[in-house]
Amino acid sequence: MSTILIDHGLGLSTQTISLIPLGLMGLLGMNLGTLAWLRSRPPRAAKTSVPQAPTPAPAPAAVRTPPPAVVVQIPVFNEGLLVRSCLEAVARLDYPAGQLSVQLLDDSDDGSAADNRRLAGEIAARTGLPIAVIQRGERTGFKAGALAAGLARTQAELAMVLDADFRPDADFLRRALPALIKDPGVGFVQARWAHRNSEVSWLTRTQATLLDAHFRVEQAARHIHGLPVAFNGTCGVWRVAAIAAAGGWQGDTLSEDLDLSLRTQLAGYRAIYLDDLPVSGELLTSARAWQQQQFRWTKGHLQVLRKLGPRLLTAPWSPLTRLAMVLQIAQGLFFPLAFISLLLTLPGVILDLTPNGLGVGLVSLVGLGGLLGAGWFLGLGRQLSGCSWQRILVETAGAMILLGGLLISNTRAALEGLAGRSSAFIRSDKQGAGIPRVARTGLAINALPFGQSLAGIGILGLFFIEHAWNAPFLATTALGLLAVALPQLLSTVKFPAASS
């Protein structure tokens, strides 16, 4: 009798509690499908659900001669060879002399600061472009602190933010500025990220798939339908007055770009996304660097949710707009929900308990809708980038598997973000920086990829013995964990030198 009662109690718990995270995961996926549906709808007349700030009427075009002064802010931290190529690209920008200046915001601590200063002086002397090098004593506020320090030393009306690994075309400002000049209610303009090295490996193709979905689907859909648009940290031009009105750059989250862009739009300004203005950047080639980047982005988004969530819920926007913005910054909750679902699967496998009934059927439908929605979201981004349907299928499936590999690290990131735990801004190493890799001195196993590998193997074992309806979730999670962790483990192994 006791065995029956215990079995019945655990079965009831499995049938109820385990459905909650799975259902919420499905809803997050369906939100992505909604964005894909909005992006697929034909553009309509410009419309916004965000109230405008009370700003003066735009001046006639003839009055804006010369055009507004623009400062290009390039925040760098141990960027190596990327600094030269970035400054060279900025020096080629087509903009009237005297109205364009550059700030190299150099927080480097690897000994490259002196070289960067000499490089800036060399390019300034050769091109006539004013380049100010600003080096702070302490890296307070990280990137946000550097950008704020630069704004305190300029009188420019507009500020272009550019990370060192991006290369704008010469006509970038000519194409990006008209919206800002025409309408003083526009706080910033965001251009689309393109990719110089998307064909290098499975990892770069996965990043291209994820980023194309964000820019070509999510950002475009929000812009087309008048929803608030996020700033992506680079390849954008800001109205300095809008930054001041929103409270300036703030370094209390790891997503200072999302934080400022939402505060700006809460202050009444609007944002413009330009899908037809690509700026090429460099994708990460290391699984470890990509995992660190995704940790930072996930934690930063949930820090912003903690910081601005209450303001977003009470913003003077339509209910659908408020919901859309909360869902945008809460997407990282997928990982702790998936982790909880995985933990709740374990006792059911051990005791051979399988959820059943109407609740399971409903959650299964929501989960299927979420899976299809996320797949449509990712696939549409690749379609809009001109990929064949065969490549769309392969890369969409690959991206969904690789996201499973972030389960452990991004769960930690999400929980730390919600708890308000602060951490340093860790820069993602780019191959183009030319920074020499640390020599392998032996088998120095990193705890995270080692734990991920063990978890992947264990979950893969569950997949083979699990008879429940969430077996596909177990398989993709296991493959993702192994795909992200194994390259990191292999990179720590010192191979013996060939005998002569």
Annotated catalytic sites, by residue?
A: 107, 257
Q: What is the rounded CA–CA span in Å between residue 293 and residue 267? A: 29
Residue type, 165: D
Residue 148 CB-half CA count within 13 A? 17
**Residues with Cβ < 8 Å from 13, sequence gap 6 or more?**
none
Q: What is the rounded CA–CA span in Å between residue 163 and residue 238? A: 14
Long-range contacts of 327-330 (CB under 8 A, 24+ apart): 327/28, 327/31, 328/218, 328/230, 329/258, 329/262, 329/301, 329/302, 329/304, 329/305, 330/28, 330/301, 330/302, 330/305
Sign of CA dihedral 27, 33, 37, 43: positive
Q: What is the rounded CA–CA span in Å between residue 364 and residue 278? A: 39
**Residues with Cβ < 8 Å from 369, sequence gap 6 or more?**
26, 29, 30, 33
Q: 133 - beta bridge partners?
A: 104
Q: What is the rounded CA–CA span in Å between residue 39 and residue 18? A: 33
CA 107-169-271 angle, to 5 degrees, is 75
Q: What is the rounded CA–CA span in Å between residue 173 and residue 95? A: 7
Report phi then psi at 160, rounded to 5.
-95, 130
DSSP per position, 284-328 = ---HHHHHHHHHHHHHHHHHHHHHHHHHHHTSSS-HHHHHHHHHH
Q: Coil, helix or strand for 374?
A: helix
Sheet holding 70-76, edge to edge: 131-134, 100-106, 70-76, 158-161, 236-239, 186-195, 270-281
Q: Whose structure tokens read 């398989």?
A: 475
Is-contact 413 295, C-beta < 8 A?
yes
**Residues with Cβ < 8 Å from 355, sequence gap 6 or more?**
14, 15, 18, 19, 348, 468, 469
